[in-house]
Amino acid sequence: MATRFAELIDRQLDLFEREDAEFLARVDDAERAYDRADRKDAEEAFGRFQELVEFGTETLAEMRDTFASTLDEDGAQEYLAEFNAAVHRRLPRFALEIEET
Protein backbone atom coordinates (compact mmCIF):
# COMPACT_ATOMS: atom_id res chain seq x y z
CA MET A 1 0.00 0.00 0.00
CA ALA A 2 1.43 3.34 -1.04
CA THR A 3 1.53 6.00 1.61
CA ARG A 4 1.28 9.74 1.19
CA PHE A 5 5.04 10.32 1.36
CA ALA A 6 6.28 6.96 0.01
CA GLU A 7 7.71 8.26 -3.28
CA LEU A 8 9.43 11.21 -1.62
CA ILE A 9 10.94 9.03 1.09
CA ASP A 10 12.15 6.50 -1.49
CA ARG A 11 13.91 9.33 -3.35
CA GLN A 12 15.42 10.64 -0.12
CA LEU A 13 16.75 7.21 0.84
CA ASP A 14 18.01 6.65 -2.73
CA LEU A 15 19.92 9.92 -2.42
CA PHE A 16 21.36 8.90 0.95
CA GLU A 17 22.50 5.54 -0.43
CA ARG A 18 24.00 7.13 -3.54
CA GLU A 19 25.70 10.15 -1.96
CA ASP A 20 26.87 8.24 1.10
CA ALA A 21 27.90 5.01 -0.65
CA GLU A 22 31.47 5.34 0.64
CA PHE A 23 30.21 5.80 4.19
CA LEU A 24 27.86 2.82 3.86
CA ALA A 25 30.79 0.70 2.64
CA ARG A 26 32.71 1.74 5.78
CA VAL A 27 29.76 0.64 7.91
CA ASP A 28 29.74 -2.73 6.12
CA ASP A 29 33.50 -3.07 6.66
CA ALA A 30 33.18 -2.21 10.35
CA GLU A 31 30.41 -4.75 10.81
CA ARG A 32 32.49 -7.46 9.11
CA ALA A 33 35.48 -6.53 11.29
CA TYR A 34 33.32 -6.90 14.38
CA ASP A 35 31.95 -10.24 13.17
CA ARG A 36 35.52 -11.51 12.60
CA ALA A 37 37.04 -10.01 15.75
CA ASP A 38 38.34 -12.34 18.38
CA ARG A 39 37.09 -12.01 21.91
CA LYS A 40 39.84 -9.61 22.96
CA ASP A 41 39.19 -7.16 20.10
CA ALA A 42 35.41 -7.53 19.82
CA GLU A 43 34.49 -4.67 22.15
CA GLU A 44 36.68 -2.17 20.31
CA ALA A 45 35.45 -3.37 16.90
CA PHE A 46 31.84 -3.11 18.04
CA GLY A 47 32.49 0.42 19.31
CA ARG A 48 33.79 1.49 15.89
CA PHE A 49 30.81 -0.10 14.18
CA GLN A 50 28.36 1.49 16.64
CA GLU A 51 29.86 4.97 16.13
CA LEU A 52 29.30 4.67 12.39
CA VAL A 53 25.74 3.44 12.89
CA GLU A 54 25.03 6.37 15.21
CA PHE A 55 26.42 8.83 12.65
CA GLY A 56 24.28 7.28 9.90
CA THR A 57 21.20 7.40 12.11
CA GLU A 58 21.84 11.06 12.92
CA THR A 59 22.32 11.87 9.23
CA LEU A 60 19.02 10.21 8.34
CA ALA A 61 17.24 11.92 11.25
CA GLU A 62 18.56 15.30 10.11
CA MET A 63 17.27 14.65 6.58
CA ARG A 64 13.92 13.58 8.02
CA ASP A 65 13.60 16.47 10.43
CA THR A 66 14.58 19.08 7.85
CA PHE A 67 11.75 18.06 5.57
CA ALA A 68 9.29 17.56 8.43
CA SER A 69 9.88 21.16 9.50
CA THR A 70 8.30 22.32 6.21
CA LEU A 71 5.00 20.56 6.99
CA ASP A 72 2.08 21.37 9.23
CA GLU A 73 1.94 19.44 12.50
CA ASP A 74 -0.31 16.63 11.24
CA GLY A 75 1.64 16.23 8.02
CA ALA A 76 4.92 16.24 9.92
CA GLN A 77 3.76 13.49 12.26
CA GLU A 78 2.58 11.37 9.32
CA TYR A 79 5.83 11.94 7.44
CA LEU A 80 7.99 11.13 10.49
CA ALA A 81 6.19 7.83 11.01
CA GLU A 82 6.45 6.91 7.33
CA PHE A 83 10.13 7.86 7.16
CA ASN A 84 10.98 5.84 10.27
CA ALA A 85 9.08 2.82 8.92
CA ALA A 86 10.92 3.09 5.59
CA VAL A 87 14.27 3.18 7.39
CA HIS A 88 13.23 0.06 9.34
CA ARG A 89 12.47 -1.74 6.08
CA ARG A 90 15.28 -0.47 3.90
CA LEU A 91 18.19 0.41 6.20
CA PRO A 92 17.53 -1.67 9.32
CA ARG A 93 20.95 -1.13 10.88
CA PHE A 94 20.05 2.55 11.27
CA ALA A 95 16.53 1.86 12.49
CA LEU A 96 17.17 0.89 16.09
CA GLU A 97 17.43 4.48 17.30
CA ILE A 98 15.86 6.48 14.46
CA GLU A 99 12.67 7.12 16.41
CA GLU A 100 14.64 8.45 19.38
CA THR A 101 16.59 11.03 17.38
Spell out the per-residue pLDDT of the chain, length 101, in tens: 568 999 999 999 999 999 999 999 999 999 999 999 999 999 999 999 999 999 999 999 999 999 999 999 999 999 999 999 999 999 999 998 888 77
In the three-class reduction of DSSP (H, G, I as helix; E, B as strand; rest coil), residue 97 is classed as: coil
pLDDT of residue 3: 85
Q: What is the pTM of this model?
A: 0.90
d(CA 24, CA 11) in angstroms, rounded, equals: 17
28 within 8 A of 91, measured Cβ to Cβ? no
How many residues in the chain? 101
Domain boundaries, the chain: 6-100
In this predicted structure, what is the pLDDT of residue 75?
Answer: 95
Task: Supply the pLDDT for residue 54.
Answer: 96
Q: What would you report as the CA-atom Rg of the chain, rounded to the nearest whole angstrom?
A: 15
User: What is the per-residue pLDDT for 1?
Assistant: 52
User: Is residue 98 packed enough to be buried (19+ CB in 10 Å), middle (13-18) or exposed (0-12)?
Assistant: buried
